[in-house]
């Protein structure tokens, strides 16, 4: 009986909130305040900073054992594959994406489908690592998501009918989109996948109302960024200043650094934070140098796409560690001062705390045992070169198994404990508070 009562109470409160709020268009302010308004979820990461912290207290450590299913919704039979989406909730409707670039609107009270949109994907799409989608964005009367043929699709949130569809990149060149876009100041911000196929990673902004491209920022050193204004394409600076500084020859032209996991946004510093994937090709012997801005975190100006700062976690990445894991923003006290920090748990085995105003390294520490890829680490790691040969063979023959082994749940921020939480591999969730404030290099 207790479990039934619990289920009914949650459903009733969700209905009451939906009715009391009334349906309205999602605004920029709704998105920025998302983490403070538990009656809806209108951003990926439950807030643009990606903290994934809910202030709701109905569900807690005392009663979580009584949680039970109220309804279930199947994404289909022949198209199951991986489902990695974070749903959005608005006015009693759940918007959730599924594999093969599909999206559903579902009544959260009953589990009934309201509408479905199924992108008509061409033959020859090139998703490297399953046909997943990680979520949608919502703005005004639209719900927006990316597709495996590298398009952005904006649908009417009430009917599921397309309002505009824009090509972000050429799927035949290896591009795809699997990450959730975000909406910042009326612009839809998206990354791309495809680093395994020698694409050039990028972050782009589109006008949410019209779908017009506003700016584009390549994530590989040497490529020009552009802003688009009044029908004109205007140069906005080369990423990294010039080509060939950290890449040999012309290898920067196909440098990878895909922004495949999406980004976060910090309104405090007005910065987008995107991680970048492995440099291309995988064989690091072919590309001596740091290979910027692969396997890095980038802070980007949301108004024109300029790069504010970068921090590379794995120079000359020869292990496919990537550097895409989300950078979440938070403040903490140290020596009587408030530090504007951001943290990320990298697939190279280290947890990093950075100054999010300028990208300065504050501290880092290993969160897994037996890290063998580096010899020493002062601020920047010095890698063990002989290990690359062995790892390259493993990568080429065991890619799928390896990816699963390294994957983990997203980082979150415990507002009550003042502590970033994460789950490395198959281990229990860790709280990194002591190391964030008092950590030292090991
Ligand atoms: Ca909210
Ligand atoms: Ca990769």
pLDDT per residue as tens, the chain (442 positions): 333 444 444 444 444 444 444 568 999 999 999 999 999 999 999 999 999 999 999 999 999 999 999 999 999 866 678 899 999 999 999 999 999 999 999 999 999 999 999 999 999 999 988 999 999 999 999 999 999 999 999 999 999 999 999 999 999 999 999 999 999 999 999 999 999 998 999 999 999 999 999 999 999 999 999 999 999 999 999 999 999 999 999 999 999 999 999 999 999 999 999 999 999 999 999 999 999 999 999 999 999 999 999 999 999 999 999 999 999 999 999 899 999 999 999 999 888 999 999 999 998 888 888 888 877 665 667 776 655 655 554 444 444 334 333 445 677 877 777 777 766 655 555 666 556 655 533 2
Distance from the CA of 140 to the center of ligand 1, in angstroms?
15
State how far the Cα of 103 lies from the Cα of 135, in Å rounded to an integer. Answer: 9
> What pLDDT was estimated at residue 384?
67
Per-residue pLDDT tens for 281-330?
A: 999 999 999 999 999 999 999 999 999 999 999 999 999 999 999 999 99
∠ CA 355-361-364, nearest 5°, is: 115
Residue 82 inside a domain? The answer is no
- Hey, is 379 helix, strand or coil? coil
Residue 415 inside a domain? The answer is yes
Range of the domain at 316: 259-442
State how far the Cα of 234 lies from the Cα of 92, in Å rounded to an integer. Answer: 43
Residue 38: which residues within 8 A CB-CB, separation 6 or more?
54, 55, 56
Residue 143 inside a domain? The answer is no
Element (H, E) at 7: helix 2-21
∠ CA 98-180-398, nearest 5°, is: 70
Q: Say whether the peptide bond before residue 293 is cis (omega within 30 degrees of 0).
A: yes
State how far the Cα of 337 lies from the Cα of 326, in Å rounded to an integer. Answer: 25
Distance from the CA of 152 to the center of ligand 2, in angstroms?
22
Ligand nearest to the CA of 32: 1
Q: Quote the number of domains for the chain.
A: 1
Question: Which CATH number do you get for residue 437?
Answer: 2.40.10.480
Residue 6 inside a domain? The answer is no
Contact 421, 432 (CB under 8 A): yes
User: Scanning the structure block, which residue is given the tokens 């920025």?
Assistant: 32
Distance from the CA of 20 to the center of ligand 1, in angstroms?
15
Order of strands, sheet of 102-107, starting from the edge strand that comes earlier in the sequence? 88-90, 93-98, 102-107, 113-118
Ligand nearest to the CA of 88: 1
Closest CA to 193 of 152, 226, 148: 148
Closest CA to 98 of 389, 113, 281: 113
pTM for the whole structure: 0.88
Ligand nearest to the CA of 54: 1
User: Scanning the structure block, which residue is given the tokens 């039934």?
Assistant: 4
Ligand nearest to the CA of 347: 2
Distance from the CA of 244 to the center of ligand 1, in angstroms?
45
Distance from the CA of 88 to the center of ligand 1, in angstroms?
9
Closest CA to 226 of 305, 299, 307: 305
Residue 3 inside a domain? The answer is no
Element (H, E) at 189: strand 187-190
State how far the Cα of 187 lies from the Cα of 302, in Å rounded to an integer. Answer: 8
Distance from the CA of 327 to the center of ligand 2, in angstroms?
17
Ligand nearest to the CA of 40: 1
State how far the Cα of 438 lies from the Cα of 432, in Å rounded to an integer. Answer: 10
Distance from the CA of 76 to the center of ligand 1, in angstroms?
29
- Known catalytic residue at 320: yes
Per-residue pLDDT tens for 89-141?
A: 999 999 999 999 999 999 999 999 999 999 999 999 999 889 999 999 999 99
Residue 62: which residues within 8 A CB-CB, separation 6 or more?
none
Distance from the CA of 395 to the center of ligand 2, in angstroms?
10
Residue 2: which residues within 8 A CB-CB, separation 6 or more?
66
Q: What number of other Cβ atoms are within 10 A of residue 398's Cβ?
A: 11
> What pLDDT was estimated at residue 78?
67
Residue 369 inside a domain? The answer is yes
> What pLDDT was estimated at residue 366?
86
Ligand nearest to the CA of 48: 1
**Which residue out of 317, 320, 322, 346 is catalytically annotated?**
320
HSE on the CB side for 78, CA within 13 Å? 0
Closest CA to 292 of 337, 239, 226, 355: 239
State how far the Cα of 102 lies from the Cα of 75, in Å rounded to an integer. Answer: 9
Residue 364 inside a domain? The answer is yes
Residue 50 inside a domain? The answer is no
Token code pair at residue 156: 């009417």
Distance from the CA of 398 to the center of ligand 1, in angstroms?
41
Distance from the CA of 231 to the center of ligand 2, in angstroms?
35
- Hey, is 84 helix, strand or coil? coil
Question: 3-state DSSP: the chain helix, strand, coil percent, rounded to 5?
Answer: 15, 35, 50
């Amino acid at each position: 009986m207790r479990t039934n009562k619990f289920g009914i109470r949650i459903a009733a409160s969700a209905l009451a909130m939906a009715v009391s709020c009334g349906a309205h268009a999602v605004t920029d302010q709704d998105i920025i305040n998302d983490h403070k308004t538990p009656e809806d979820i209108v951003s990926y990461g439950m807030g643009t900073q990606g903290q994934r912290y809910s202030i709701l207290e109905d569900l807690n450590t005392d009663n979580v054992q009584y949680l039970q299913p109220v309804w279930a919704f199947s994404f289909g039979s022949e198209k199951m594959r991986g489902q990695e989406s974070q749903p959005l909730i608005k006015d009693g409707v759940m918007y959730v994406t599924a594999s093969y670039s599909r999206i559903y609107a579902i009544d959260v009270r009953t589990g009934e489908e309201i509408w479905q949109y199924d992108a008509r994907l061409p033959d020859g799409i090139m998703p490297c690592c399953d046909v997943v989608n990680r979520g949608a964005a919502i703005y005004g009367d639209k719900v927006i998501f990316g597709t495996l043929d590298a398009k952005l699709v904006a649908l009417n949130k009430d009917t599921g009918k397309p309002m505009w569809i824009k090509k972000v990149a050429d799927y035949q060149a290896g591009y795809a989109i699997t990450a959730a876009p975000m909406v910042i100041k009326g612009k839809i911000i998206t990354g791309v996948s495809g680093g395994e196929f020698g694409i050039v990673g990028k972050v782009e902004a589109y006008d949410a109302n019209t779908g017009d491209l506003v700016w584009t920022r390549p994530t590989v050193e040497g490529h020009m960024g552009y802003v688009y204004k009044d029908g004109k394409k205007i140069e906005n600076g080369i990423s990294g200043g010039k080509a060939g500084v950290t890449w040999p020859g012309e290898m920067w032209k196909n440098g990878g650094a895909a922004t495949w996991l999406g980004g976060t946004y910090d309104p405090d510093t007005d910065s987008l934070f995107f991680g970048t994937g492995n440099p291309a090709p995988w064989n690091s012997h072919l590309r001596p140098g740091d290979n910027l801005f692969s396997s890095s975190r980038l802070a980007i100006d949301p108004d024109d796409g300029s790069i504010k700062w970068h921090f590379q976690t794995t120079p000359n990445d020869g292990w496919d560690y990537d550097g895409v894991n989300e950078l979440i923003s938070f403040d903490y006290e140290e020596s009587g001062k408030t530090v504007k920090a951001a943290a990320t748990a990298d697939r190279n085995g280290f947890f990093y705390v950075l100054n999010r105003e300028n990208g300065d390294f504050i501290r880092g520490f290993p969160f897994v045992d037996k890290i063998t890829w580096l010899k020493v680490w002062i601020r920047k790691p010095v890698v063990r070169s002989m290990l690359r040969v062995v790892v390259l063979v493993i990568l080429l023959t065991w890619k799928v198994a390896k990816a699963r082994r390294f994957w983990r749940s997203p980082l979150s921020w415990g507002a009550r404990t003042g502590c970033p939480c994460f789950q490395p591999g198959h281990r229990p969730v860790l709280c990194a508070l002591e190391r964030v404030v008092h950590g030292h290099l090991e």
